[in-house]
Amino acid sequence: MTHAQAGHNVPLAQEVFPIAYQRGPSGMGPRNARRPRGASSPMRPVAWLIGVMGELLVTAGLVLGLFVVWQLWWTDVEGARAQNEIIAEMDWGSAPTGPATATENHGPPPVMKEPPEDGTLFAQMYIPRFGDDYVKPVAEGTDKATVLDTIGIGHYNGTAMPGDLGNFAVAAHRTTYGKPFNQIAELKNGDALVVRTEKTWYVYKVTESKIVYPQNVEVIAPVPGVTSDQPMPELTDRFITLTSCHPMFSATQRYIVHGELEYWSPVGDGKPKELVG
């Protein structure tokens, strides 16, 4: 006799859902009655693995973010501070000041006879376009760890010394570690690039800017642009070349600025007019 036959109009649950409503092991209740209400099923291995991977990715993102902050901001702060300290420690003293500016000499300038050893400081660079207070130390060599990351501007081994015939070629970072050449793309033809050794000013003027690939090493040749398979002409001019990475935050290419010596002056005569006012 069914529940309906017994005089009731409402069928029993086991009549509507005969499969779902099977007796459990205890003989009472539905088949899933063994699991207490509110209990969760054990986490499957795939779900657990996804959870772990998610946590690892979040951690990796935080670590990467901290590295970027250190690389782009903190190394810049520390680099700028170190470069200012280096300039102060060089203790060359200030050039005389007054209404008169340094005398312009257009004859052959005094030049260092021998290049210094790698890592040795021997010059300072002033670039008025970068600000009235811009001055950075220059050291021999372009090793990243010992010169570019720690001192600032590095002089390519084998290229001319300041004021000498040939090409005085230097490199520096465009981002991070004090970023001495951060504004290199803002230089215009005719801008002054002033190099000071302990006793002499060398005033160069920008003549050209361009972008090349790293393999185009002819940009630092004694005569810029002359490749290794071409004969080198007699040296009659005094060049300067600034190199830095391009584009920003990449080393895919190089940003190049060329210039030529305009004049020189003894430091004791005063400052070049480009640095006055």
Tens digits of residue pLDDT in 196-223 = 999 999 999 999 999 999 999 999 999 9
Average pLDDT over residues 236-252: 96
Give the DSSP H or E segment for 153.
strand 153-155
Which residues are the active-site residues? 173, 245, 254
Model confidence at 117: pLDDT above 50:
yes
- Map out the domains of the chain as residue ranges: 92-275
Average pLDDT over residues 209-238: 97
Model confidence at 68: pLDDT above 60:
no
Q: Give the pLDDT confidence score for residue 94 in this predicted structure.
A: 73
Closest alpha carbon to 171 in 242, 239, 223, 79 = 242
Please indicate, yes or no, whether the overall pTM of this predicted structure exceeds 0.85. Answer: no
Fold of 92-275: Sortase; Chain: A; (2.40.260)
Q: Give the pLDDT confidence score for residue 194 in this predicted structure.
A: 98
Q: Give the pLDDT confidence score for residue 65 in this predicted structure.
A: 58
- Could you give the C-alpha distances from 182 to 199, 203, 207, in angstroms and in order? 28, 21, 19
> For 83-124, what is the HEC assignment?
HHHHHHHHCCCCCCCCCCCCCCECCCCCCCCCCCCCCCEEEE
Q: Give the pLDDT confidence score for residue 101 in this predicted structure.
A: 87
Closest alpha carbon to 160 in 87, 261, 245 = 261
**Rounded CA separation 165/78 (Å):** 36
Convert the pLDDT of each residue in 127-142 to its tens digit.
Answer: 999 999 999 999 999 9
Model confidence at 49: pLDDT above 90:
no
**Rounded CA separation 138/124 (Å):** 5
